[in-house]
Structure 1
């Protein structure tokens, strides 16, 4: 079952494919999925035979972000504050681990790519999407903050575009995501996405493995993803908002498929 294998990992020679596999939740990030990601990333960081990592989602969606139904459970306010600080800190570090891999990382996106899903897309070296893909950073509509995806959004699309995306918090289509720079290319359908993915993998494999890894190191040396101290401040901000009355109302409204009290 999907939740028993929340991250499907397959390998074809030097190409590793990681598929987020919780289709009933549009591949929302659960604790178990996060732990599976961490195991895979630790392995790939030491693997010099793997040369490409492809990230995608199962059943026509990429990733809907953090699973709020799971995250909304358990404990005293103090315990929840500590739990969410730790969880969000790890989410931010995970995106950094993806970007730091020696492999070339390609995101192939269909359907929903929301919230934390944007972090995966923007931490990848190259991002493609089918025309049916949809993108959103809806955190403020849930009473939350886009703490750990914000540096990645700003790096990929620029601060101005990221500002509008996280403050309006609406859904944009793949064409708009491509226009603002979240994507490298938009393909007309799933078949075209597969063809472009295959072509890019073939192109990457023409490069020398060591030279590609060194080039990624040089790109990282151009500057950090965020200022010193941001990751901890972001984790703390997420935890504060998550344990607030606004988040309680926002998550309840999300689960009930209604507007929160502050919306009109």
Structure 2
């Protein structure tokens, strides 16, 4: 990515092989507008085949990650002429978010979510599609949709994949809000920081691990993990063995083996983190 695109709802900062994406609507606790959805989708499309980007860090400005959907967009959809089925403005609004969150979920990059303050609704969904989620001490998580008379239509499947059906049912059907400690116990986040300094340290340690892992092997591994449970195991393992053979005979496999033998870091680890 030679030049970062201009965004109205996001702040983009490239730090070596890492793209930091900061949701920047602090006046509404980073509520997710249609424009933000479109901009996130554009960014993840652009970095997908960008070999200079190894990780994408998602975080929010002003002490909050994302408080959910934007009420103004909801009001705008309500003011439009009602349509039938997929012509309904509310369908289009909701489904656009689902397409974006699926795109983030399936990104070949390592996606890291830094969650602070409000992590609700769509923000909760984004946390659930990250490869690594780290929570700050102020983070509060929830699926409040049922308390508002609506349903978590696009995030629910990803929440189930993240924490299992029984816990997803408890959170969604009771509209619960939980703290970072419980979120970690449930597997929504992987680590909880007790301070901003510790949060920064945890992120830097994670990015250091990303640096040491081969980018193509990482992408292939992530794609393989996403297939588990959706395909017959025998066929999946057959295909995985083919990919293993291709990897070990490929440039990364050769370099990784040579680096191990020579007791040095592989060449892909030479990319700076800053």
Q: Same fold (TM over 0.5)?
A: yes
The one of 93, 105, 130 equivalent to 1:87 is 93
- Is the aligned partner of 1:169 residue 2:175? yes
- Is the aligned partner of 1:75 residue 2:93? no
Unaligned runs of 5+ in 1: 225-264
Match of 1:204 in 2: 210
Match of 2:252 in 1: none
Q: Aligned to 2:83, what secondary structure does the other structure show?
A: helix
The one of 53, 59, 73 equivalent to 2:62 is 59
Match of 2:222 in 1: 216
Match of 1:26 in 2: 29
Contact 2:82 2:89 (8 Å CA) reproduced: no
What is the TM-score when the length of structure 1 is the normalising length? 0.80
Contact 2:19 2:57 (8 Å CA) reproduced: yes
TM-superposed CA distance for 1:81, in Å, is 6.4
TM-superposed CA distance for 1:90, in Å, is 1.6
- Is the aligned partner of 1:194 residue 2:194? no
The one of 32, 35, 46 equivalent to 2:38 is 35
The one of 5, 8, 21 equivalent to 1:5 is 8
* Counterpart Cα distance in 1 of 2:80 and 2:8: 27
Per-residue CA shift, 1:198-232, capped at 9, x if unaligned?
Answer: 110011110011111111111111135xxxxxxxx
TM-superposed CA distance for 1:76, in Å, is 2.6
Instruction: Give the structure, 1 or 2, with the largest relative contact order (CA under 8 Å, sep 6 or more).
Output: 1
Contact 2:80 2:89 (8 Å CA) reproduced: no
Match of 1:120 in 2: 126
For the pair shown, which has the larger CA radius of gyration, 1 or 2? 2
The one of 91, 107, 116 equivalent to 1:110 is 116
Contact 1:62 1:111 (8 Å CA) reproduced: yes
Contact 2:184 2:192 (8 Å CA) reproduced: yes
TM-superposed CA distance for 1:11, in Å, is 0.5
* Alignment RMSD (CA, Å): 1.5
Q: Aligned to 1:72, what secondary structure does the other structure show?
A: helix
Contact 2:134 2:193 (8 Å CA) reproduced: yes
TM-superposed CA distance for 1:49, in Å, is 1.7
Per-residue CA shift, 1:7-43, capped at 9, x if unaligned?
Answer: 1111012100111100000000012111111110110
TM-superposed CA distance for 1:179, in Å, is 1.2
Unaligned runs of 5+ in 2: 1-6, 231-274
